[in-house]
Amino acid sequence: MSLPSSLTLGSLRVDTPVVLAPMAGITNAAYRRLCAEQGAGLYVCEMITSRGLVEGDQHTRDMLVFDELETTRSVQLYGTDPVYVGKAAEILCAEYGVAHIDLNFGCPVPKVTRKGGGGALPWKRGLLGRILEHAVAAAAPYDVPVTMKTRKGIDEDHLTYLDAGRIAQEAGAAAIALHGRTVAQAYSGEADWGAIGELAASVDIPVLGNGDIWEAADAVRMVEQTGAAGVVVGRGCLGRPWLFRDLAAAFGGEEVKTLPTLGEVAAMMRRHAELLCQHMGEERGCKEFRKHVSWYLKGFAAGGEMRRSLGLVDSLAALDALLADLDVDEPFPASELGAPRGRQGSPRSKVVLPEGWLDETDGLGCVLTEDADAGSGG
């Protein structure tokens, strides 16, 4: 089969069928800019809550920062109340000029599933449909496509992804992204690409595959195996923004695998820190940068003292002095290719859900209190 070279979401055309998954504390404006400098794609803002946005929560508004070169603004929205989600979608379109809204029904974080949100919500098929309908109706006058992200289900005994695909299509969603794990799996084990293929065969809207894309070759294999219209990449790009360069090349029919030297990685680290400081100021930007150090240096020989110092960096000048001591010619550690990155953890024996959540599957009578402060992505 020939690979897709672009992705169409309603009226929005994405030049490469690759989406950066929203990750809390990671996919801020600086990181999205850094990834976009590497290759074309759709770069999604950190997840925000619909209640926080509607009620004017300052922290939520502060997260809605876009880089001046960010021409296609994409936001992931979390919510459990159809009215709140609809109002929030309208605010995003009218006040923030977004070009794409993704609804999060995949977050596995216990504080989210406990309230019936994230990956728990698709069990309530009626409620899922109502939320999607409200969001699609609110965004339609602005010609903004609405998509949804979900998981296979709560656990292997409570799968929801095929119903979710049908409901998304009926509600007018422009696409559905499936992370091939259950909520119970969280980020452990292997993603089930077979489920992605099954979903792609069952709906007419584009299906995006998510899970275990560590290299560009993985993305190509996923699309070939599943018939997905594109891929969603999360943990695979942590400390490796150049993965988007490889992905753009692969979907363009080129064989490119970026294996940067430690000197080139150091230059990327410097650029990342610089962008964070531009957006947040030097003190906060450097603090935000610290969490990325271990991902950038994964597999390299840089010693513990160097890593500790980089993890305490408080200015660009201090960062420059430390980076200058790295061995610029050290080759990229081949052992890290194809290896999982970021959190993995263990599967959960029990998913935390509201009392009686599994008793019925409609959910339209549910009164769920939305958190103004929710989880990560999914």
Helix, strand, coil shares of the chain, percent, nearest 5, are: 40, 15, 45
One-letter identity of residue 275: L
Tokens representing residue 256 in the block = 């490119």
Give counts: helices (H), strands (E), the chain: 15, 10
Among the listed residues 35, 45, 93, 107, the single catalytic one is: 107
Exposure string (b/e) for 297-335, b if CB count within 10 Å is 16 or more?
bbebebeeebeebbeebeebeebeebbeebeeeeebeee
Catalytic residue at 107?
Answer: yes
Contact 319/313 with Cβ under 8 angstroms?
Answer: yes
Crossing angle for the helix pair 29-36 and 262-280, nearest 10 degrees?
140
3-class SS of residue 13: strand
Judge whether 211 and 193 are in contact, CB under 8 Å. yes
Strand duo 12-14 + 7-9: pairing: antiparallel
Beta-carbon contacts of 46 under 8 Å, excluding residues fewer than 6 positions away, are: 22, 23, 24, 25, 26, 27, 28, 63, 76
What is the Cα–Cα distance from 64 to 56, expressed in whole angstroms? 12
Q: Is 3 exposed, middle or buried (0-12, 13-18, 19+ CB in 10 A)?
A: middle
How far apart CA 313 and CA 326 sit, in angstroms, is: 15
Hey, CA dihedral for 326, 330, 332, 333, is it positive or negative?
negative
Q: Are 316 and 277 in contact (CB under 8 A)?
A: yes
- Residue 45: is it exposed, middle or buried by C-beta count within 10 angstroms (0-12/13-18/19+)? buried
As annotated, the active-site residues are 107
